[in-house]
Amino acid sequence: MSIAHHLAVIDRLCSEEFPAEPGRSDVGTAGPGYHVAELRTSADFWEDDGTRREETEEQYEADRGALSELLTARWGAPAVFSLWSVLDRSMDGEDIPEPWAVLSSHVPDLHLWQVDGRWVALGVSQWDKELPFQLVALITEIDPP
């Protein structure tokens, strides 16, 4: 998908209502107070010697950077928000609200803007070294923990 398509998805989700119950959406997952869009997903890395994985990670970070530049032109510079401490707090038993708890388990950091009472964030997800990368966008009314 193109950057223009990613922007269109983000724009649409910024104006959509949030669902009453958590579940799958046409672009990812959603629940009370949030949408998580899976903008792009790579192949997996089960048969990789590490080279393709490294190149793919660099490409997904570059894609996030390009999309972030366009959103920066609209909304100003993003905050870079690390989710490592959120994951640590979750592992220590703290009740972290969704979508932040799940995101912290597979997205290390986010580019984050506050726009019209909602948070908009971009991240690069990978659940494990053999699994695909994803470029994800989050739109939520739930404050970061």
List of residues 6+ apart from 112 with CB closer than 8 A: 78, 79, 80, 81, 119, 120, 121, 144
The 10 Å Cβ neighbour count of residue 59 is: 15
Q: How far apart are CA 28 and CA 23, in angstroms?
A: 9
Asked, for residue 129, whether it belongs to a domain, the answer is: yes
pLDDT-derived band at 138, boundaries 50, 70, 90: very high
Residue 111: inside a domain: yes
How far is residue 80's CA from residue 65's CA, in Å, rounded to a whole number?
A: 12
Q: Answer yes or no: is pLDDT of 119 > 90.
A: yes
Measured CA to CA, the distance from residue 45 to residue 64 in angstroms comes to 20
**Is 145 inside a domain boundary?**
no
Residue 73, in any domain of the structure: yes
In a domain, 45, yes or no: yes
In a domain, 107, yes or no: yes
Q: Encode 12-34: b = buried (16+ Cβ within 10 Å), e = exposed.
A: ebeeeebeeeeeeeebbbbbebb
The total of structural domains in the chain comes to 1
Does a structural domain hold residue 53?
yes
Which secondary-structure segment (H or E) carries 86? helix 84-91
pLDDT more than 90, % of the chain: 86
For the chain, the average pLDDT equals 94
Structural domain harbouring 129 = 3-140
- 109 occurs within a structural domain: yes
pTM: 0.92
For residue 104, the model assigns a pLDDT of 95
pLDDT of res. 1: 64
> What confidence tens digit (pLDDT) does each residue in 13-68 have?
999 999 999 999 999 999 999 999 999 999 988 887 778 888 999 999 999 999 99
Say how far apart CA 104 and CA 69 lie, in whole Å. Answer: 23
